[in-house]
Structure formats: C-alpha cells, structure tokens
Amino acid sequence: MKFSVLGAGSWGTTFAKLLIENGHEVLLWARREELAEQINKDHVNLEYLPSIELPPTLIATSKIYEIEQFSDNLVIAVPVKYLQETLEKITTVPKTVINLSKGIDSKLRTVSSIVASKWQRVTYAILSGPCHAPEVARRLPTSVVIASEDEYTANLFQSALSNEFFRVYTTEDVLGVEICGAVKNVIAIAAGVLDGLGHWHNAKASLITRGLHEITRFGLAMGCKSPLTFMGLAGMGDLIVTCTSNYSRNRYVGEMIGKGMVLEDLLSNMKMIAEGVHTVGPLLELAKSLNVDMPISQKVYEVLFLGKKPHEAIYELMKRPLKIENEFKQIDLQPASRDI
C-alpha cells in the first residue's frame, strides 16, 4: 500500500518508519524544508527522533501538493492545534484518513469532527494506545487499537500495520478512542505535578485511577459506544504510560510545574507540543455544557492558567465532599446530541 504521512514529528516519523518496515511505500511531509532534506540525505530526524536510523527508502518532502499526488491514504500526525490550518492547504480529497493525533481544538472538536468539516465523506480511522514513538522506533513490543466505523477499514489497516513487535486491535468506538487520547494528556499533567513535588506514589496511583474514572464519565456523557473502551489500550493503557513514562511530554510539563517552573517559560523551551495544555480549556467547556464534573481537569487548568499552587489544588481535591467510588449508575448514558 501507499501512504502519505502529514507531519514529521517523532510519532509521524516513527509511523512512516513502521510502514516502510511493513513493506509499504511512504511519503512523509515535513513543515520545514531543512528537516525534509535532513531525512532524505542523512536518513535521520535529529530534532524529533535522534539516534534512530531511518530506512533509506523513506522519502520526505516539504511540498504538501506532493503528498496529495502520492497517495489517497492520508495519515495525520500534526498537533491538533495546527490541524485545521494544515488541512486547508490540501486541495484534493483523500480516500481514507488515519489519525494519530490526540486532542480537542479551540472550537471544541475532536479530530474526526475537524476532518469531517473539511471532507464530509472520507473514511476515517484513529490509531491510539500506549505507543511512545522512541520505543516503537526501536522495535520494542507495542500494542495499540485502531477505531473505525467501517469494519473493512479497521480490519484492512489492522493487517497492514501489525508485525512481530507492533500488534493492532480493532474497535468501532471512534469517539471513545478520541476522548481517551485527548483527556489522558490532561490527567498526565497532574501526574507529572506529583512527580515534581517528590514522586508521591500513593497519590499518583490514586490520581491515575480517579483520572480514568473522570475520562470514562466524560466519554459516556459524550455518547461513546462502550465503557469497555476506557478499560482498554486507548483508555487505561495510554493513561498509564502517559502518566508514568519519561517520554511523556505532558507528564514532563506537570513535573516542571510541580518544581516551580512558569508555564510560559517551560513551553518556550520545548520543541514538541504538550497537547494537554491546549486541550484542558476546551475540555472543561465541553464538560460544563454536558453538566459533567471533572475535578482533576479543573485543578490542572487552575494550576496552569490561574496561578493556583499545586499544594492548594491537591488540598481542594482531597477535601471534596465524600462519595461512593463508582458513580456510573448515576450518569445518563443516553448519547449526547452534540456533533463532535
């Protein structure tokens, strides 16, 4: 098969490498010409994937019209913050979109909704799960899930992507997988704050558990197809790795905030995007519209943007009214009417 990969960051480059290793043809789009030239000449992406040798047959370009001409299987691997403006540069309609990006944009849209606003009839799939790029690039065992409402598409790409170190499962719950990928980044910032305060293991385990509960409550209120999605690779799996791994940009942001660093200074020194920083505001707007309480996400927002001290935020979380552990029976599980 042939694939056009939109975005030459760490995950986009790694995914292109995976496709090449699986016998497919790939053209990788980089926003900057010098990065494309480096990949083509030196077969390495020093900025986003250092120390990883790339296949000589992996070709990169900075000309977006070339990826349109190359394949009608379009892989999205650009930050959600910049996705709309990037898609506007594409003039042709792809047959299939495979999304690797995770987040909710300022217009309160997941990636499937952003794509649908550009191309109404394109076949859409999302790949997600615990898959930090450096480990996939090093061919370490990884399992993920691909979600599509079209069963044939999910099965097709499951076979096309799977190999001896990269195992792909399928699901129809597109929105559930998208919600998991977006909200777990916010929870990971909170987990990083605990690391910055001194690696509080009891608190972190509790945070991950209650964070998963928070993601599930929000996802069900949004109308996701199955609560089991949140217990799977896109939910629990991705949440665990993002909250604990040193590769996690969102966890790193939280850790530095916990150590007293100012958010603006921190972001100005980062090469890659921490999606949770840009997701938390729109997430809370959506939650408010659905009358869903998201206390952890709320405190992340207050610490990041309102100057609240981490210790104060933690105290307020711990002093919330006491309640039963499992509140799902109290949630209206009717699908939300919101189009996202």
> Got the DSSP string for 170-222?
EES-HHHHHHHHHHHHHHHHHHHHHHHHT--HHHHHHHHHHHHHHHHHHHHHH
3-state secondary structure 258-301: HCCCCHHHHHHCCCCCCHHHHHHHHHHHHHHHCCCCCHHHHHHH
Question: Is residue 41 flagged as an active site residue?
Answer: no
Q: How many CB atoms lie within 10 A of CB 82?
A: 14
Which SS3 state, helix, strand or coil, does residue 139 take?
Answer: coil
Copy the structure tokens of residue 112.
């499937």
Copy the structure tokens of residue 25.
């043809």
Q: Do 62 and 33 touch, CB atoms closer than 8 A?
A: yes
Q: Rg of the chain over CA atoms, in angstroms? A: 19
Give the chain's end-to-end CA distance (angstroms, integer). 30
Q: Given the residues 102, 184, 204, 299, select the one marked as catalytic.
A: 184
Beta-carbon contacts of residue 111 (< 8 Å; ≥ 6 apart): 76, 80, 83, 99, 101, 102, 103, 126, 178
> Got the DSSP string for 209-268?
HHHHHHHHHHHHHHT-S-THHHHSIIIIIHHHHHHH-TT-HHHHHHHHHHTT--HHHHHH
Q: Do 123 and 148 touch, CB atoms closer than 8 A?
A: yes
What does residue 48 show for φ and ψ, rounded to 5 degrees? Answer: -115, -20
Q: Which residues are catalytic?
A: 184
